[in-house]
Each structure stands twice: as structure tokens, then as C-alpha cells.
Chain A
Amino acid sequence: MKLLIVEDQPKTGQYLRQGLTEAGFNTELVADGTTGQHLALTGDYDLLILDVMLPGRTGWQILQAVRSAGLEIPVLFLTARDAVEDRVHGLELGADDYLVKPFAFSELLARVRSLLRRGSSTLQETSLHLADLRLDLIRRRVERSNQRIDLTAKEFALLEMLLRRQGEVLPKSLIASQVWDMNFDSDTNIIEVAIRRLRLKIDDGFPNKLIHTVRGMGYVLEERFS
């Protein structure tokens, strides 16, 4: 997966490139709009991450050029401005997502993965699993080590999300948005509590834990061998 970041603030740009590269993406970084637009139009990228305010060409101008060239690459905007008109303007021009600074890197990573996944065809899976954990999507049943586990509807949805995106760190805001459709800034600790309750059912009593907390970033479902 090849990503292009156009960001003029050197520190932000460097960290974004490092973070995304370490997450397994082939990442290129440029600091000015003119070069950014040239690369966006000629390089074969899977995703563009654009800052709005850039020297040369603004992020919006780059987006316009890309769309009028008939390219359907997903575009994610980063901006320090949080005016609703800006957001609307960006989405009207054909942006796919929008993140307002300051944002958490885990949030960016989760959104990048969502955007990249959108293009690929999702197989109609009938079940999901990790290690000895099995989730039957048709019968809506969960088993671990062949023991049936009873989950509430939301717990099931939460576990399904964790399983579908196993190995990814999922920020709390993304979980709230995807599982409960709560799309607002919130400093409640509901997600912590919900994860703790899910853990009691999934991991309690099993030696190898599957749900892990990544402090300050979110939660990840994966098998860890100590």
C-alpha cells in the first residue's frame, strides 16, 4: 500500500511518515503543494493525506486537480481549522475523511485503514476467529475453547469489530462511533468499562489473553506469546 503525505510542518510530517511506515505502509512525504500535486497525479498511490494550508497549492486545490484528472484515490484531510464550512467544503470537493489537529495517531491510523479497506471487496464471511476464539456471524454465537459465551448485542458488535480489525489498535472514539454510533467528543470512560466487561467474558479464566490495552491509544485484539 503506497501513501502520499503532503504536510509542510516538518515535525508533524516526519512523525506521520515514521508512524505509517512502521504500520506497514510504503509512505512518501513532501512538504509543498506544488510537488505534492505533481506526485499525486503521476505516482500510483492508494491514499493521499493532505494538509489544507500548504505552500504552493492548497490541499483543496490538489484534491480538485486529482478529482478532475479522474482519479478515485481516497483522500484524507488534516487541518488545524475546525470550521464546519471548511469541513463541508472539503467533503463537497470529494474528500473522503477529515481529521482536525490535534488528533491522536491511533485515530489517524484507524481511519487510514478504514479508507483503504473501503476499496477492497469485503468477503461475506460467516465466521471470524482468533486463536481459540470463534464468532459465528450467522447464528450469532461466540465460543472460546468450545465453551459457549453469552454476550449482549453490543458486546457481540464490539467483539465483531475487534475481530474484523484484529492486530489494529482501535481508539476509543472509533469504537464509540462504530459500535454505538456515538460520533461526538466525549470524555466518558464507557468504552473502558465496556472493554473490561467484555474481557471478563472472553479472557477471564483463559491463560492467553486476547484483548489488550495500548495505553493512551486504544485496544487491540491479538494473540501475544510471552
Chain B
Amino acid sequence: MKRISLASRLALLFAGCTAVVSLLAGVLFSQASEKHFIELDQQLLDSKLMALRSALQDADTPALFAQRVAALTDELSHQPDLSVRINAADGQRWFDSSPSIPAQLPATPGLHSLQNAGTNYRVYNAPLNPGKPGSAQLVLMLDITHHQHFLQRMQHLIWLTVGLSAVATALLGAWAARSGLRPLRRMTEVASRVRAHSLTQRLPQEQMPAELAELAQAFNAMFSRLDDAFQRLSAFSADIAHELRTPLSNLLTQTQVILTHPRPLEDYREALHSNLEELQWMAQLVNDMLYLAKADHGLLNPRREPLALANEVDALLEFFAPLAEDAQVNLLRDGSASTAGDRSMLRRAFSNLLDNAVRFTPPGGEVRVRISENTQGVTLSVENTGSGIPQGLLPKLFDRFYRVDPARHEGSSEHAGLGLAITQSIVRAHGGRIFCESQPGWTRFVIELPKGG
């Protein structure tokens, strides 16, 4: 189906509206003039009737009437547009002023319209002597061709006006619509210029008309989000390459060096062990990235099992106990709440927070998990004592591969910097949010989960 452009559509609508309005005006006008003409004819015929009645006074019988025919004919000869027929009460025809009068005429009294042999007439029936019973009947026929001509001309004029005004408004409307839609075309131009590397293009929101400003704003917001997502994706790909490059180059170098010369068995064993550590680190990285990719595609579908958060946290604190004792950090829990969620996913999320907290707490410090519940949902916070995180770094903490400590990948136990990103993905998959607050002396990660998971 061929689609009509917005401008043509508007122009056609304008033209249609104008045509309807002028047609309506024309119809009303021609009806009013017709009515007016009927009134004029009535008046004219009334005066003729009066004149005829007075001329034919007392001509009640055919004999009396015959005496007045000459005068009547004379009288009528001055009025070429008027014909007269006189019938007796019994229907016998006394007089026809013209032979062109049709044999059959409307019989009821009053005014009628009639067309005969291409000419329009107004026919008026009335008794000759209204008071007397058995009076002869007068039929007056007035030629109204000139009225009809006028009305026809009027109608032509009306049609012409309708047509011309429709065409004129269509053209004007098309022009108006085109110039009115110019901002939209500008939008199209900007949108069509957008490429992956030019996501910084923005629509001039202030110059847009009010109706389009909102759309332009939505467009700009979309561009911003796209730009942001694209930047992240680019950074993510670059980071993946960087993260994998170090272990890969270690593997390559070490394997090549080991194979260059024959060595004692123990050296080969050592090299393989070292390779194994690198490989395990890489496998973990790939698994974590797959997990995040699944989260990005909305494939992380947490189960909704009822969970007592206090029990889950206690189990985790027991798991972390050796680590905490080793680091001389106190682990504490306050409060309790229940929610619905995926046990192993949430355990993973909390465990990442606890792991971070224990690692960044100086000996003698404490890590405190607080659980609380309100009408909106449940809140779980993991707070640790320590030097705190500078405010400027807080928003970046959940970025992939972000590390507060920039020294990367030192030894196999070092984290890839995906832990907090994974935690965030899990919390979001549960419909919650996570943020971090920090002041010199403490750092707190807060997870808010909606009621019932």
C-alpha cells in the first residue's frame, strides 16, 4: 500500500474542509434565494388575482363572462409572462389566455410549481368570487424562467467557488504543512547522520516547536543512552582483550621458553602448574563474562524461593569466618528480614560484597551486615571500617574491570574486577538496586530488594 505523506494528507484535509464549508454556504444561500423568489411570486400573483377579480366582478355565468373576454384579453396582452385559465365550477372551460397552457394543471388551491415544455411556471389556483359557492375557478400561470436562470447561475458559481477554494486551500495547505514540518525533516537529517562513531549528534531542542521538543528530548536521551552503552561496550571489549592478553602472553612465553631446551622433569611440572593457574584464571574470567552477558540479555531468571536473609547471611559469615579470622576482622550481623529470591544467586552477590569488605578492612576492624525491612522492601547493607573510598570513585565501582587498586592481576587469587558488576546484575535481576556510600573511616554497600523479591 502506498503511504500518503503527512503534508499531502494535511493539504487534502484542508481542501476537503474548505469544500464542505463553501458547499454548505452555497446550499443555504440558494435555498434562501429560492424561498425569496417564491415569496415574490406569491405577492405578484396576489396582486394579479386582485386585478382579475375586480375586472371579472359578477361575471358568474358564461354569458356574462363572454361580455368581458375582450377586456380581459386586452388586459392580459400587457403581461406576456402571465397566462390565465378560467373554469366554471362544474369544470367546463370558459377561457384560456394562451394555447400553450397544458390541459392538466394542479387542482388544489394555492401556489404550485410546474414545468411545461422546458419552461418553469408558478401556478396559482383561486376561486373567482371567494365568498360565493359555485364560483368559477381562476388559474394563474406565471412564467418564472428568469428566476430559474438566476438560480442556475448561482449554482454554477457555487460549484466554481467550492472547486477553486478547495484547490487553493490544498495548495496553500501543502505549502503550510511543508514549512510546518521542516523541524521534522531536520530531525530526520540528524537521525540519518548518526553512526556508531558519531553518537554525539544531538537535536537542537530549543529551536524545536513545543510539540516536537518532547520528541527531540526523547531522541536526545536515546542518543545519550546509546552513546553510553556503546562506550561501555567498546571499553568492555578493550578490557577483555587487555585482561586476556596478560595471561595469554605469560602462557606463550613460558611454554616457548620451557620447550626451547631439554630440562629436568621438575621444571616441566612447574611450568605446567603455572600454566594451569593462568588457564584457571582465564576460565574464571570467561565464565564471569558469560554470566554478565546473560544478565545483559535478561537471561538471568532468578528463582523465587522464600529466604530468611538472616540465615543466608549467617551461613555466609560462617563461610567467611576463616578468612576474617586470618585478617583479624570481626564479622557481625544485625537484624533479619525475609524475601523471595534465588538462594545461590543472592549468596553469590552477598559473598562478593563480604569478600571485598574483608579484604579492605584493616586488622582489628569490623564488617557489619545490617538487614532491615520496611513497607517498600528489604535492605541489606555490608559496612566495613577502613579508610573509605573517595567520592569520585563511587559511581565507577560497579563498572566492569574497575579496580580501586589499579595494579592488575597480580597472582591467581587476584580478582578480575567483575565481582561488583556481577553483584549488581544479580540485584537488578531481582528487581532491586545497589549503591555504595563511603566516608573516611567506613564504606557501606547497600542492597535494596523489593518486597517479596
Contact = CB atoms under 8 A, between A and B. Distances in A.
B173 interface: no
A190 B348 contact: no
Contacts of B268: none
A22 interface: no
Given A185-B288, A187-B419, A216 B315 contact: no
Interface in B73-99: none
A184 B319 contact: no
Residue from B280, B283, B319, B326 having most chain A Cβ neighbours under 10 A: B319
B322 A184 contact: no
A93 interface: no
A154 interface: yes
Nearest to B269: A215
Given A104-B280, A185-B288, A186-B351, A197 B326 contact: yes
Contact of A215 (B277, B348, B413): B277
Given A193-B322, A197-B326, A216-B277, A184 B299 contact: no
B416 interface: yes
B57 interface: no
Contacts of B320: 188, 190
B299 A83 contact: yes
B348 A194 contact: no
B287 A197 contact: no
A190 B319 contact: yes
B119 interface: no
Chain B binding surface SS class: helix
Interface size class of A (residues with CB under 8 A): 20 to 34
Interface stretch (A8-16, A61-69, A175-183): A175-183
B323 interface: yes
A84 interface: yes
Contact of A84 (B286, B301, B321): B301
Contacts of B355: 186, 188
A217 interface: yes
Interface string A72-109: 00000000001110000000000000001010100000
Residue from B283, B291, B322, B413 having most chain A Cβ neighbours under 10 A: B322
A185 B348 contact: yes
Nearest to B301: A84
Interface string B355-380: 10000000000000000000000000
A176 B413 CA distance: 16
A222 B301 CA distance: 42
B233 interface: no
Nearest to B291: A185
Contacts of A196: 326
B280 to A, nearest CB: 6
A190 B322 contact: yes
A122 interface: no
A197 B322 contact: yes
B287 A185 contact: yes
B273 A216 contact: yes
A215 B275 CA distance: 10
A9 B98 CA distance: 118
B300 to A, nearest CB: 9
A189 B323 contact: yes
Contact of A184 (B286, B326, B351): B351
A182 B350 CA distance: 12
A211 B351 CA distance: 27
A208 B323 CA distance: 26
10 A-B pairs with the lowest CB-CB distances in the bound complex, closest first? A216-B276, A184-B348, A194-B322, A215-B273, A102-B283, A180-B319, A193-B322, A188-B355, A189-B413, A190-B323
Given A102-B286, A192-B413, 15 more contacts: A82-B290, A84-B301, A104-B280, A104-B283, A154-B322, A184-B347, A184-B351, A185-B287, A186-B348, A187-B413, A187-B419, A190-B319, A196-B326, A215-B277, A216-B273
Interface of B: 273, 276-277, 279-280, 283-284, 286-288, 290-291, 294, 299, 301, 315-316, 318-323, 325-326, 344-345, 347-348, 351, 355, 413, 415-416, 419
7 contacts: A84-B301, A176-B319, A187-B413, A188-B323, A193-B326, A215-B277, A216-B279
